[in-house]
Amino acid sequence: MSSRTDIEKFLDNMVDMIFNTKRTGREHGFRVCETDDSLRMSDICEGDKCSVALEKCPPRSTTFLDMHTHPPRQSITATLPSPSDTLNAIKGRIRFMCIGSPIDDGVLRCYEVDSDTEDARLFRKAMKDGKSSEAIKHLARVYLDESSMMKQVGLWEDLLLTKGGDDASE
């Protein structure tokens, strides 16, 4: 059973990864996989300046969270998921995506992904056809919500408490 403590552990790891990214200039990341009533965090992976490859969640589980960092870039979109992040999120039906960056003393943003919208479909198609400017138009609309991590922790806790509880032992 997952608890608020687990979720706070994810958050601690995210903050550590942002510091490590600042130090090394490399992306870091992990995933949280969801099975019937629990969330399990993968090992933390270290990538290079441009990407990090994360372990896939095992069969019969879903990807609850994909969290990774982006090293500082000359861009104000450092905490926006990239087109390839978004493609992975839609294909893998990832529920939440969080991007951390060491800019401005550390920023962390979490997004809820909606893989079932028309924008998600059009985004995938544009990416497949190599029409990147068309894809970017749909990218932002793939993310239902954007919020601070602490708000997200509250939301996750609500979801888990609804799912879990005393009768979750079967």
- Which residues of the chain form contacts with Zn ion (CB under 5 A)? 82, 85
**46 close to 130: Cβ distance less than 8 angstroms:** no
Choose between 8 and 48: whose C-beta lies nearer to Zn ion: 48
Element (H, E) at 104: none
d(CA 37, CA 159): 11
Choose between 87 and 126: whose C-beta lies nearer to Zn ion: 87
**CA quadruple 99, 101, 103, 108: dihedral positive or negative?**
positive
CB 29, min distance to Zn ion, A: 8
Residue closest to Zn ion when measured from CB atoms: 85
CB 82, min distance to Zn ion, A: 5
For tokens 């920023």, the residue is 107
CB 31, min distance to Zn ion, A: 13
Choose between 3 and 20: whose C-beta lies nearer to Zn ion: 20
